[in-house]
Amino acid sequence: MDITLVVALVIALALFFDFTNGFHDTANAMATPIATGALKPRAAVAIAAVLNLVGAFLSTEVAKTISGGLIREGDGGIQITPTLVLAGLIGAIVWNLVTWLLGLPSSSSHALIGGLIGAVIVGAGFGAIDGAVLVSKILIPAVLAPITAGLVSFIATKIAYAITKKRERDGFKRGQIFTSSLVSLAHGTNDAQKTMGVITLTLIAAGFQDVGSGPEFWVIVACALAIAIGTYSGGWRIIKTLGRDITDVEPAQGFAAEAATTATILASTHLGFALSTTQVASGSVIGTGVGRKGASVRWRTAGRIALGWLITIPSAGLVGAIAALLAGLGLWGIILDVVLAAGAILFIFLRSRRNQIDARHFHRPQPGVFVRPKKSKKAAR
């Protein structure tokens, strides 16, 4: 298959992954303000979309980690091919959609990294992976970031409840508009960068861009738009899990969780860490549940989320490796990869229609109550 056609296919898949990243991670910023009533559901996702768009233009450090750090390429290294990048993206997209169907706030970032690692190991061997970058900028932050965010939000929650009286705490709702907006902005500076890095990696691998160079401006614009559109589409299943199923969130808790999430993401972006913003947000919500007296954390749900964190990289890696094996068969292997991926996406979408969750599910009369919309008479029949 012509290399230009393969590159075009990879770019299209990368932007689709960026779209899934957007709706998968909307909950990171907006689950808690929606849960507390600080923002209406549609207004929340609109704000998140705009700020993700803006944030994507503010930094490219994480993109450089993906394009020139994790996978060795170019002079002195093993040349990854665009076909392997395509296989890695298939692994990331399929796992992202599986976890979305389950309402599981797993990491889109780790799905992408796992898919790439699995594909590259099959196609180029273990030597193509820079182990030092994998450990220092991906695995260590994966462990430390949610713990750090949880500790910060725990302390912030304790302080918020200690210095305010009950009648004063509704003021945190207004504060949540500001802090959740900061999370969205920070998310754009980190997660949009990963797709930029993948596209840049592909262009370098195909010889269309110099080794060591950063993302082109058109790549930044395309990725920013893709993640913003995905964010606006909602991701309501994961918003429900993060905003309501872990703990019942009050405005002061939401404010603390969002502040802790923002601080952790921005610090990681500055250091070039390919961080899981989902892990950070989940850790922050758990921290607030522990920090508020009388609150309870649903540890079974938290355990499911933690299990998702553990298996995301190997699971996406397995799918990416299988896709790479098929792609190694040549043109027909690549076609088979795309057909199977399209079939999996269609199946997941149709399966999701059986138990659809959307913005209507978030009209609630009191904290902690999940209200299902009334079925119309026509639907009841």
Report the pLDDT value the prediction gives residue 10, as an integer from 0 to 100.
92
For residue 377, what pLDDT is reported?
47
258 located within any domain: no
pLDDT: which is higher, 163 or 14: 14
pLDDT band for 369, please (50, 70, 90 cuts): very low
Residue 368 scores a pLDDT above 60: no
Spatial separation of the C-alpha atoms in residues 132 and 197, rounded to whole Å: 18
Q: Express the helix, strand and coil content of the chain in percent, nearest 5 each.
A: 75, 0, 20
Distance (Å, rounded) from C-alpha 339 to C-alpha 327?
Answer: 12
Chain segment 248-288, per-residue pLDDT in tens:
888 888 899 898 888 887 777 777 666 677 888 889 999 99
Residue 66 lies in a domain: yes
Residue 44 lies inside a defined structural domain of this protein: yes
Residue with more model confidence, 68 or 195: 195
Residue 366 pLDDT: 41
What mean pLDDT do residues 233-246 have?
85
Biggest alpha carbon distance in the chain?
A: 67
Which region holds residue 74: left if phi is over 0, alpha if psi is between -120 and 50, else beta?
Answer: left
Nearest to 246 by CA among 304, 294, 305, 297: 297
pLDDT of residue 129: 84
Mean pLDDT to the nearest integer, 235-241: 87
Please state the rounded mean pLDDT for residues 218-233.
Answer: 92
Question: 27 in helix, strand or coil?
Answer: helix
CA separation for the pair 367, 357 (Å, rounded): 19
CB atoms within 10 A of CB 1: 15
Which structural domain, as residue segments, surrounds residue 58? 3-145+185-244+312-380
Q: Which residues in the chain belong to E strands, given as ranges?
A: none
In a domain, 62, yes or no: yes
Q: What's the rounded mean pLDDT across residues 332-340?
A: 93
Match 């500790």 to its residue by tokens.
151
Count Cβ atoms below 10 Å from residue 4 Cβ, excluding itself: 11
Tell me how many domains the chain contains. Answer: 1
Residue 227 has pLDDT above 60, yes or no: yes
Share of the chain above pLDDT 90, in %: 30
DSSP 45: H
pLDDT tier, 78 (very low <50, low <70, confident <90, very high otherwise) = very low
Residue 79 domain-assigned (yes or no): yes
DSSP 8-class letter at 58: S
The dihedral through the CA atoms of 34, 39, 41, 44 has a sign that is negative
Provide Rg for the chain, Cα atoms.
20
The pLDDT of 11-22, averaged and rounded, is: 92
Segment 279-327, tens digit of pLDDT: 888 899 999 999 888 778 888 888 988 888 889 999 999 999 999 999 9
Please compute the mean of the pLDDT values over residues 122-138 and round it to a whole number. 82
User: In the predicted model, what is the mean pLDDT of the chain?
Assistant: 83
Query: Once rounded to an integer, what is the mean pLDDT over residues 209-233?
Result: 88
- In-domain check, residue 305: no
Cα-based angle 296, 302, 304 (whole degrees, multiple of 5): 145
The answer as to whether 150 is a domain residue is: no
Please state the φ and ψ torsions of residue 71, each to the nearest 5 degrees: -105, 120
How much of the chain exceeds pLDDT 70, in percent? 88
Does residue 269 fall inside a structural domain?
no
